[in-house]
Amino acid sequence: MTTNKRLRSKQYPLGIDLKKLPVGVYWHQRDSYWYTRYFEGGKRKNKRIAGKKATMLDLWQAMDEPGLKTASFQWMFDKFKESAKWESLSSDSHKSYNNTVRILQEIETKIHGTCLSETDRHKWTPVLMQSVIDKIAIETPTTSHRAKENISALFNWGIRRGHATTNPASICELVKLKPKQRLPSRVLVAKLTEFAISGSNLKPHTKGSIPKAIWKSLELAFLNRLRGIEVRHLTDAHILLDGLMCERSKGSNTNVTLWDDRLRHVINECVAERDALWKKQNRPYPLRPEHRFLVVNNSGDCLTKSGWQSIWRSFLERAIKAEIMVEEDWFGLHDIKRRGTTDTEGTAEVKLEATGHKSRAMLPIYDKSIARVKTPK
C-alpha cells in the first residue's frame, strides 16, 4: 500500500489531521504555507491558499469559496505576472515586485488564518496600508519606499483592468530618508559612463541594452552641475550661441555653461537621436523649442521622475552585477552635481557662480574638494 506523500511530512502544523485534508491541499515545507494545484494553459501551477496558522475549517472554506481566491491581492498579483506589462519589465523589477509580495506573505492576519496577501484586496484601506508601510520602515526604511511604490503600481494596474476600484497605498506617508552626501569617484563615474554608452549602442529592449538617456544625463549633470529635474527639463530653448543655459530650481541663479567639445558633443547627440526617433515614429515636430526636450526615453517622450528612477535603479543594479561597482557605491544623479562642483577649478566664488547657488552656505554641501596649502615660511 502506497502512503500518501502528504502523510510522510513531519513538519506540518500541529492540530491538523492530514487524513482529513480537502482533496488537492498540500503543505509547503520550506515556506510553511498551504497550497493547491491547478492547470492553466496546459501547465500545472501552485496556488497558496492559507498560512501556517490556518485551521482545518479554514482550509475547507478556502477550497469551497472560489471567490476567496479571486478577491485576494495574491490573485491580482498572479494576474499581473501573466500580463504584457510584466513581460515588459526588467528582471530587476520582477525581483523587486516578488520581494514586496513576499513581505506581504509573511504578515499574518486573523482572517481565515491567512497572510495579508491572501486577504480580500477590496477591503484594504489606506489605514491598513499605512500600518504595513510603517511596520516595514521600522526595520528597513528604504524597503518601505520600494514596497509602497510596488503596491501602489499593482493597484493602479488593477484599476485599469477592473480588478480594483481604489488604490489604498496611493496616499501612504513614507519615512523621510536622510539624504547622504555621496561623492562618486572620478574613476567610477568614467566607468559607468563608458558602460552606459556601450549598452546604448544596442537595440532598445534587447539583452544588454541601456537607455541612451543614462549616459546623456550623466554627462549633462556633471558638465553643467545640474540636478536631475534640471537635466530632464532641458530643451532646445536652452541651446544658445555661446553655450547651454541652465535654469536651476530651488531659487538658484540661472547661468550659462560655455561650449567645449565635450558639452557640444552630448548636446548634438541628444538632438540628433531625438529627431531621428521622432522621424521614425512620424511624430509632428514641435515648432516651439521649449517643447523639444533634449533627454527623452526610448519612446521619444520627456522623462518623468518615476521613469528616470526606474531606469537608473536598473542601470546601477546591472553595473553591480557586471562588477563595475559594489552596492556601497550606490548614488543618485544629484550626486553627479556634487562631483561636477568638486571638480570645477577655481575659487569658492567661481564654484558658487558655476552652481548657481545664492548662498555661500550651500557650497560645502556640493564642493568636497580638499584645499591645497603651502607650508609656513
Structural domains of the chain, count: 3
Q: Which residues pair with 25 in a beta bridge?
A: 36
Residue 247 three-state SS: coil
* Residues of the chain below pLDDT 70: 1-10, 22-24, 38-44, 63-69, 110-114, 178-179, 367, 373, 375
| 125/238 same-domain check | no
| 208/130 same-domain check | no
Q: Is residue 377 part of a domain?
A: no
Q: Which of 64, 92, 119 marks a domain boundary? A: 64
Task: Write the CATH number for 59.
Answer: 1.20.5
| 13/107 same-domain check | no
E strand or H helix at 133:
helix 126-139
| 199/310 same-domain check | yes
Task: Write the CATH number for 124.
Answer: 1.10.150.130
| 159/228 same-domain check | no
In this prediction, residue 178 carries a pLDDT of: 67
In this prediction, residue 324 carries a pLDDT of: 94
Distance CA 189, CA 336 (A): 8
Cell numbers describing residue 67: 471567490
Residue 219 three-state SS: helix
| 204/305 same-domain check | yes
| 239/335 same-domain check | yes
Domain that holds residue 348: 186-366
In this prediction, residue 66 carries a pLDDT of: 52
pTM over 0.85: no
Distance CA 198, CA 215 (A): 9
Cβ count near 51 (within 10 Å): 24
| 131/223 same-domain check | no
Q: Is residue 72 part of a domain?
A: no
| 253/326 same-domain check | yes
Task: Write the CATH number for 218.
Answer: 1.10.443.10
Write the DSSP string, 317-369.
Answer: HHHHHTTSS-GGG---HHHHHHHHHHH--S-HHHHHHHHT-S-GGGHHHH---
Q: Is residue 373 part of a domain?
A: no
Could you tell me if 54 and 34 are in contact, meaning their C-beta atoms sit under 8 angstroms apart? yes
Q: Which of 153, 178, 203 marks a domain boundary? A: 178
In this prediction, residue 113 carries a pLDDT of: 54
Q: Is residue 198 part of a domain?
A: yes
In this prediction, residue 363 carries a pLDDT of: 73
| 60/89 same-domain check | no
Write the DSSP string, 52-63.
Answer: TT--HHHHHHHH
In this prediction, residue 69 carries a pLDDT of: 58
Reported as a single tens digit per residue, the pLDDT across 301-343 is: 898 888 898 899 999 999 999 999 988 888 999 899 999 988 8
Cell numbers describing residue 263: 558639452
Q: Is residue 192 part of a domain?
A: yes
Write the DSSP string, 260-308.
Answer: -HHHHHHHHHHHHHHHHHHHHTTPPPPSSGGGSBSSB-TTSSBPPHHHH
| 60/82 same-domain check | no
Q: Which of 129, 162, 178 marks a domain boundary? A: 178
Q: Is residue 374 part of a domain?
A: no
